[in-house]
Structure 1
Amino acid sequence: MRHFIKRLSCLLLVLISLSLPAIAQDATKTGFDYAQWQTTATRAEGIIKDAVASTPALGTLRATLAQFRSQALDQKDVNQARIKTLESQITALGAAPADGTSEAPELAIRRTTLNSQLADARAPGLAAQEAYQRADGLIGELDQIIRVRQTNLLYARDGSPLNPSYWSPALTAVTDFTDGVKNEISDAMSSEAQLVQTRQQLPLLLGLLIIGLVLLTRARRWLLAGFGLVTRRSGPKVKEARSLLFSTTQVIVPLVGIWLIVRAAELTGLLGLRGEMLLSTLPLIGAYVFGALWLSHVLFVDDETPPSFLDLSEMAQKSGARLTAFMGGVLAVGFALNHIVVEAGLTAQTRAVLLFPVIVAGGYLLVRMGLLLHEKTGRSTEADDENSLQDRIYGLIRRVIITLGVIGPVLAAIGYFDAASLLIFPTIKTLALFGTANVAFRFLLDIADSLTRSATEDTAEQDASEKPATLVPVALGLTLILVSIPILALIWGARVSDLREAWSVVSDGFQFGNRRISITDFLTFAIVFAIGYTATRLLQSTLKTSVLPRTRLDAGGRNAILSGTGYLGLFLAALAAITSAGLDLSSLAIVAGALSVGIGFGLQAIVSNFVSGIILLVERPIKEGDWIEVGAYSGYVRKISVRSTEIETFDRATVVVPNADFISGTVTNWTHSSLNGRVKVPIGVAYDSDPDQVRTILTEIAESHEMVDHRFNVSVVFLGFGADALNFEIRAILKDVNWVLSARSDMNYEILRRFRAEGIEIPFAQRDVNLRNIDDLGAAIGKAVKSKP
């Protein structure tokens, strides 16, 4: 057995050694093929110079150049590890000798060898960088040619479809096309072999056709019936989301039926080139039609979905549903006719005649939709002014829709058919995109709400105004906007290659020092930092709920540990994220040096507060919940951060005090070491009062109060002889100094009651008023009385 294992090990070693050259060869093959690149680049330069190739051919060439550019970008950083090693070796040899001086022959030979190796190691990267710049420039030139052609196409003026001389050729072209389809079917049916093959496929054909027709015509009614059963068994918080999700099957199922019918027609073998061309348009035509029907229902009239986002009357909602459905029909007919024109090679004048009614219908529908939005903005403005921004947006959309709906048919009528098509069809598709995005937003918002809603809300409805504000709608809206931007660009004429170019620019990133920073680096940074942040929060939660309660630390110490853990965790998370993203922290030394100068001059106060905050968290002269007095403010400490401390005064006001004031100033902490504190109650009595009786009464009052700590003696101090009274003062230690005001008030009430009962007088100042010239005043009063009737 031992010999068998040895032989097996030797065999494995031999196989591995034999496979290494193949692996190395494969690795070499994955490199940049410079010979093929030179050939392709030279050919591209010639095509660009001639500028006679078709636009599709230019697009194919551009895709090839983009592939070479991507490969060159991957090769720009090749041999970096080897280059760093050689550079460190050359640095270790010291600086090269100046002119006129020499160094040891061994060092000179070694320096020359290393420089040669360094040049060889850098050569592939430099060549790849040159190839990248060349490919990028050629791609830019191709894009410029394509854009110029597209712009010229928009400004090109064909014949007007209103010219009667174009009607007869257009009708002839349509007749010839339909006759061609009929002839192809007749020729196929005249072939006995084809009929035999069709009969063999007949069971499958009939099955596909029947299933397709059922799905196309009857499935929607069955789906609605099944949906009623599902929603009746669902809770209220998931009914809306399930409604929208289920409604999408009203598009998917009919499209499956259309695909089955198309497949059945293809299996007959009776269709020629023209018939197959027509057949290939049916799935997309169905998508336009059924998509528009679905969108019209979920946006306007379907009772199983959430309320419409448009504040319209019932009549207007029905009108909006019809307009949306008709717009889908316009897109379907326009796509079918344009596909036939292109594939059949019909003239531009024939295309204008065939598509002009579609353009006019699309413009009319856009104008009607704009007027419908005008009713929405009018109703909202009359109701309130809170949605003024939304109303202005709707008003702008309304004006744009109406303007494009009028300009499009006018341009088509005078011969600018490509420009008219670019205005009408993309506008309808844009409205469909906005509507779909709104439906998706409502669906995702319902899902998020059902996931975050508490269990108590299942039985009790919560008013919308009472729901806590969250950033979930903002995040969902931003996500949908980002997803819609490339789709919107494609709708308005952008090519897929344009989107790839934009993504290439984003993914390639930008040069930062000796490293290229790309979007993947940002994603890596965000993911690693999020993981570190989450781990920090979990650690804080564990300390707060499981570890710290088992210790003897007070609340202030626990908060200090939790705060320190949070700051340390965030620092480590940021450090790990920066390192994972590949940023060289040594390059931050220059930034740190510049910051040190700024700190020395302009950031002294901030740094002082920061250091003071750390001292407060470590030494803890104050802690959260303490009653302190600092400066002119008195209140409870609510939060201690690294820069400032929040104090809640007894007036329920929040005072933010810089931490440096606690370290450099004087702070009175009433509850630092314990809750005990002394209460002082001054009182004055008349001079004829018995001091011993007063002392006895005051002592009894203080000792009988429930907040007085009897571990400490109560004292009544005879402060001295005042101008009007004998001054006494109660001094007692309370169990909780936070109750000092209530204790003083209770004692004053009791003092007043006892003194009145014992006949002890509390003196108060009296004022005498002396009137001069009383005789004159009496005479004036008498005279006034006599003059009265």
Structure 2
Amino acid sequence: MIIAWMRTALLTVCLVLFAALAGAQGNGPDYAAWESTATRAEQAVEVAEASNQAFETLRGEIADWRAQFQNQLNANDSRLQTLREQIAALGPAPEEGQEEATEIANRRAELNAQLERLSTPRRTAEEAFSRANGIITEIDGILRDRQTEELLNMGPWPVNPGNWPTALRQAQDSIAALVSGTQQAWQNPSRRSNASDNLPLVLVLLVIGGVLLARSRYWSELLAVRIQRGGTGSSAGVASFVVSLGQIILPMLGLFAFIRAVRATQLFGPRGDLLLDGLEIFGLVLFFSRWLAGRLFPKDDVLRAPVAIPDNRRAEGRVYAVILACVFGLAVLLTGVSDFDRYDAGSDAVLHFPLVIVAGLILVRFGWLLRRQVRARRDDPEKTVAYGDRIAGTIGRGLIAVGMLAPFLAAFGFGAASKFLIYPTILTLALIGTVVLLQGFVRDVYAALRPGEGARESLVPTLISFLLVLIAIIPLSLIWGARVTDLTEVWARLRSGLTIGDMTISPGSFLTLIIVFTIGYVLTRAVQNALKTSVLPKTKLDPGGQVAIVSGLGYVGIFLAALIAITSAGIDLSSLAIVAGALSVGIGFGLQTIVSNFVSGIILLIERPISEGDWIEVGGQMGYVRSISVRSTRIETFDRTDVIVPNADLISGTVTNYTRGNTVGRVIVPVGVAYGTDTRRVERILKEIAEAHPMALANPPPAILFMGFGADSLDFEIRMILRDVNWMLSVKNEINHQINDRFQQEGIEIPFAQRDVWLRNPEVLQAKAEPVPSESASADVEKPVVEHMDHSDLEPDAPAEDGDGDGR
């Protein structure tokens, strides 16, 4: 069945391509022949009594004509566009009562005549294309209605005992015919002679086939597990997956050898040939399902299990998969025999009913297996239900519903509907499992090519996995009843393009847009990298200017790439002017902050008030500029945290740049000495310390300032210009250490803060020693008033006062 679908699809594609080439190379469609074909097709559609095969053939003829008309529609596009541009270049036609120059009028008439001559075949082809589309749509509607009617028709009940004898008799007749054909072939002397001559070949093929069928699958599985266990990383997973494909290829080679040996004997009749063909399909389905089940529910824990079910339930999953494959293979074989021997509807329903029952039970069990794991994860508070688990739970519910509904429909005579549910569901399960395995294989390949943490979950394998899901829609549509002609019809609709106003976007133009833009983007990035690594470092531009040039070039390159791509695709930008105007209004109101930051980023890159590596302070945040983008600027603070500042704040706010242009800056070191100290001596010592520091500039020299008389000290300041202001804190720290050491050597005192406590009426404290007679009496005692004199400019960590109350 699947092979037949693939052959039909390949034949249809070849016919479409041949028709397209024939239409492109010819001088144009034969409209007389088309009229005859179209009339015949319209009459057949009106009567609607032809067989499905006849309608399919007729539809193929109409589709070939439509392909020719499609080519004719696009034949003179470039020439017609050139003529329209030439006419537009002559200016607008004169209004009634006005005249224009004779040469221009003659040229306009000549161009209009050429335009009319080239437009006539296009209009004719457009009318014929529309007519062909209508006929194809009507034929598809008839075939679709027949398919629906077949599914909804009630046939014989397989549970009716009256249908059983006929079914058994026809099955016995088929087996008897198979045996009779073999006996007749054996009684034929020429066939016996050929079988005797081919006996050595038959024996060799039987031995090879028997060995491959018996042991090749085990060998491939064992080797795949050993590779996975012996290797590390994703490379082992890739190798194990490739080797595991031998579980399909090698047994199939053995089956082909066995079938070739049987065919070489020629001791079978037509039904034997039919049985061998069905055996090929049965073997392919069985071996593929065993490989698929072995990868989805692996025996060995070293293999990654894509389906999250308990280890003790994996064997159950493998058994279910094999049983479903056997049911599907037997159904294909039974369908072939039924069509060959022309079973009646009752016999066909009775013989298919056991297969439907077994498949339904297995689907229900398989659905419960998937649902049980999801339910266990949902009930466990320590585990989270992943997205894949939710999909598995949904699939499980669907399998349970199909497994219960299909046998019920088959029992009450809806055999076509039950088979439409059961067998496509089995194929869908196989397709989903294949896509899951291919997604894991793609992730392993990418992780092997680009090793690193999180490589399997990066963007590229995720996009490829999504592409695999989109590709899987094609076989999924065929599985669920779509005809190959339906897919070709969708492709034909896509080829005709999507029309928006006067603009038509076809797959070809869209592909051109993507390819041209990709080329422009890659070239832009290549030029940026060349400038950044080879050209700009050899110039005298500062790093900020280099970043501005590289960034500006990137924006210009991407804009040009988009413009060239749109023009190459044939998209008229003038038709998008109204839409762009409406979007600009929306951008002005809804995205004004983003636009403001973007414009501010461009201003920063052009004017360069700050550059990467500058030490700045903005909005209370101080740190080094690490990167400047079009929307924001990243500042690394001194505690190694990143602060993202919108560019609009850097343009409209106040920014302090400590290292703009150069790194020279001033540092101020305050110091205080006790009252009574020789101030000239202090000034001299501080000057010696400042001038001796290697980071201090000699011109201008450090300055020592006597700032004034503080509350507890004589205040001085060291003001010095540093070679690199980035070392301000280190210089301050070193200067303070040197001041402390010199002052200790010179006997100069650095005072600390002092506080005086005065008691306004200290004699009241004596009352505390006398007993208090009563609560009312104690309330009349005068409380002392304490006046606290505090010097706000004293250090907070000054030593505590004596609490003896001596008035100090």
TM category, shorter: 0.7 to 0.9
Paired with 2:762 and 2:230, the residues of 1 have a C-alpha distance of 98
> Compared with structure 1, are the counterparts of its residues 107 and 238 closer, same or farther at alpha carbon in structure 2 (3 Å cutoff)?
closer
> Compared with structure 1, are the counterparts of its residues 89 and 564 closer, same or farther at alpha carbon in structure 2 (3 Å cutoff)?
closer
> Compared with structure 1, are the counterparts of its residues 612 and 143 closer, same or farther at alpha carbon in structure 2 (3 Å cutoff)?
same
- C-alpha contact 2:308 2:389 (8 A) present in aligned 1: no
- C-alpha contact 2:696 2:723 (8 A) present in aligned 1: yes
Paired with 2:182 and 2:456, the residues of 1 have a C-alpha distance of 66
Q: Which of 450, 453, 457 pairs up with 1:452?
A: 450
Could you say which residue in structure 2 is the equivalent of 1:138? Answer: 135
> Compared with structure 1, are the counterparts of its residues 396 and 232 closer, same or farther at alpha carbon in structure 2 (3 Å cutoff)?
closer
2:244 is equivalent to residue 256 of structure 1: no
Could you say which residue in structure 1 is the equivalent of 2:609? Answer: 621
2:543 is equivalent to residue 555 of structure 1: yes
| Residue identity opposite 2:703 in structure 1 | S
Paired with 1:98 and 1:113, the residues of 2 have a C-alpha distance of 19
Paired with 1:621 and 1:111, the residues of 2 have a C-alpha distance of 59
Moved more, 298-307 or 616-625: 298-307
- C-alpha contact 2:294 2:318 (8 A) present in aligned 1: yes
> Compared with structure 1, are the counterparts of its residues 637 and 250 closer, same or farther at alpha carbon in structure 2 (3 Å cutoff)?
same
Could you say which residue in structure 2 is the equivalent of 1:161? Answer: 158
**What's the CA shift for 1:533?**
2.2
Could you say which residue in structure 2 is the equivalent of 1:573? Answer: 561
Moved more, 490-499 or 758-767: 758-767
> TM-score of the superposition, structure 1-length normalised?
0.87
Residues 110-509 of structure 1 mapped to structure 2, 5 A cutoff: 112-223=109-220, 237-303=234-300, 306-381=303-378, 382=380, 384-453=382-451, 470-509=458-497
- C-alpha contact 2:424 2:480 (8 A) present in aligned 1: yes
Paired with 1:715 and 1:781, the residues of 2 have a C-alpha distance of 60
Task: Give SS of 1:342's match.
Answer: helix
Could you say which residue in structure 1 is the equivalent of 2:802? Answer: none
> Compared with structure 1, are the counterparts of its residues 380 and 134 closer, same or farther at alpha carbon in structure 2 (3 Å cutoff)?
same
Paired with 1:291 and 1:782, the residues of 2 have a C-alpha distance of 107
Paired with 2:681 and 2:156, the residues of 1 have a C-alpha distance of 121
Q: Which of 658, 663, 673 pairs up with 2:661?
A: 673
| Residue identity opposite 1:438 in structure 2 | V
- C-alpha contact 2:443 2:457 (8 A) present in aligned 1: no
> Compared with structure 1, are the counterparts of its residues 699 and 469 closer, same or farther at alpha carbon in structure 2 (3 Å cutoff)?
farther
Could you say which residue in structure 1 is the equivalent of 2:13? Answer: none
Could you say which residue in structure 1 is the equivalent of 2:705? Answer: 717
Could you say which residue in structure 1 is the equivalent of 2:683? Answer: 695
Segments of structure 2 that go 5 or more residues without pairing to the other structure are 1-21, 776-808
Moved more, 228-237 or 112-121: 228-237
Task: Give SS of 2:670's match.
Answer: strand
- C-alpha contact 2:672 2:716 (8 A) present in aligned 1: yes
Task: Give SS of 2:770's match.
Answer: helix
Q: Which of 503, 507, 519 pairs up with 1:519?
A: 507
**What's the CA shift for 1:254?**
1.9
Moved more, 55-64 or 300-309: 300-309
Moved more, 32-41 or 603-612: 603-612
Could you say which residue in structure 2 is the equivalent of 1:742? Answer: 730
> Compared with structure 1, are the counterparts of its residues 780 and 104 closer, same or farther at alpha carbon in structure 2 (3 Å cutoff)?
closer
- C-alpha contact 1:243 1:304 (8 A) present in aligned 2: no
Paired with 1:103 and 1:560, the residues of 2 have a C-alpha distance of 55
**What's the CA shift for 1:433?**
1.6
Task: Give SS of 1:45's match.
Answer: helix
**What's the CA shift for 1:29?**
2.3
Q: Aligned-residue CA RMSD in angstroms?
A: 3.3
Paired with 2:166 and 2:532, the residues of 1 have a C-alpha distance of 85
Task: Give SS of 1:437's match.
Answer: helix
Moved more, 376-385 or 397-406: 376-385
| Residue identity opposite 2:249 in structure 1 | I
Could you say which residue in structure 1 is the equivalent of 2:671? Answer: 683
**What's the CA shift for 1:217?**
2.8
Paired with 1:545 and 1:556, the residues of 2 have a C-alpha distance of 14
Q: Which of 38, 52, 55 pairs up with 1:41?
A: 38
Could you say which residue in structure 1 is the equivalent of 2:782? Answer: none
Task: Give SS of 1:783's match.
Answer: coil
Task: Give SS of 1:301's match.
Answer: coil
- C-alpha contact 1:240 1:305 (8 A) present in aligned 2: no
Paired with 1:497 and 1:208, the residues of 2 have a C-alpha distance of 41
Could you say which residue in structure 1 is the equivalent of 2:804? Answer: none
Moved more, 39-48 or 194-203: 194-203
> Compared with structure 1, are the counterparts of its residues 400 and 669 closer, same or farther at alpha carbon in structure 2 (3 Å cutoff)?
same
Moved more, 324-333 or 570-579: 570-579
Paired with 1:112 and 1:559, the residues of 2 have a C-alpha distance of 58
- C-alpha contact 1:630 1:666 (8 A) present in aligned 2: yes
> Compared with structure 1, are the counterparts of its residues 654 and 785 closer, same or farther at alpha carbon in structure 2 (3 Å cutoff)?
farther
| Residue identity opposite 1:385 in structure 2 | K
Paired with 2:106 and 2:741, the residues of 1 have a C-alpha distance of 110
> Compared with structure 1, are the counterparts of its residues 409 and 609 closer, same or farther at alpha carbon in structure 2 (3 Å cutoff)?
closer
Moved more, 101-110 or 397-406: 101-110
> Compared with structure 1, are the counterparts of its residues 422 and 784 closer, same or farther at alpha carbon in structure 2 (3 Å cutoff)?
farther
Moved more, 701-710 or 583-592: 583-592
Moved more, 101-110 or 166-175: 101-110
Moved more, 66-75 or 290-299: 66-75
- C-alpha contact 2:293 2:321 (8 A) present in aligned 1: yes
**What's the CA shift for 1:763?**
4.8
Task: Give SS of 1:583's match.
Answer: coil
| Residue identity opposite 2:443 in structure 1 | L
Paired with 2:222 and 2:78, the residues of 1 have a C-alpha distance of 67
Moved more, 686-695 or 603-612: 603-612
Residues 636-785 of structure 1 mapped to structure 2, 5 A cutoff: 636-650=624-638, 652-663=640-651, 666-710=654-698, 712-722=700-710, 725-763=713-751, 766-780=754-768, 782-783=770-771
Paired with 1:597 and 1:322, the residues of 2 have a C-alpha distance of 63
| Residue identity opposite 2:418 in structure 1 | A
2:66 is equivalent to residue 62 of structure 1: no
Q: Deviations over 1:200-238 (max 9, x none)?
A: 555544444443333333433454576688779866542
Q: Deviations over 1:517-538 (max 9, x none)?
A: 1223223222222232223323
Paired with 2:490 and 2:549, the residues of 1 have a C-alpha distance of 48
| Residue identity opposite 2:618 in structure 1 | V
- C-alpha contact 1:244 1:305 (8 A) present in aligned 2: no
**What's the CA shift for 1:99?**
4.7
Name the count of aligned residue pairs.
Answer: 754
Task: Give SS of 1:732's match.
Answer: strand
- C-alpha contact 1:72 1:128 (8 A) present in aligned 2: yes
Could you say which residue in structure 2 is the equivalent of 1:18? Answer: none
Could you say which residue in structure 2 is the equivalent of 1:458? Answer: none
> Compared with structure 1, are the counterparts of its residues 751 and 325 closer, same or farther at alpha carbon in structure 2 (3 Å cutoff)?
same
Q: Which of 58, 69, 82 pairs up with 1:72?
A: 69
Over the matched positions of the two proteins, sequence identity in percent amounts to 46
**What's the CA shift for 1:753?**
4.3
Paired with 1:237 and 1:91, the residues of 2 have a C-alpha distance of 63
**What's the CA shift for 1:571?**
2.4
- C-alpha contact 1:311 1:379 (8 A) present in aligned 2: no
> Compared with structure 1, are the counterparts of its residues 201 and 668 closer, same or farther at alpha carbon in structure 2 (3 Å cutoff)?
same
**What's the CA shift for 1:755?**
3.4
Task: Give SS of 1:628's match.
Answer: strand
Paired with 2:549 and 2:513, the residues of 1 have a C-alpha distance of 27
**What's the CA shift for 1:499?**
1.9
Q: Deviations over 1:241-271 (max 9, x none)?
A: 1111111111112222323333444444443
Task: Give SS of 2:636's match.
Answer: strand
Paired with 1:130 and 1:118, the residues of 2 have a C-alpha distance of 18
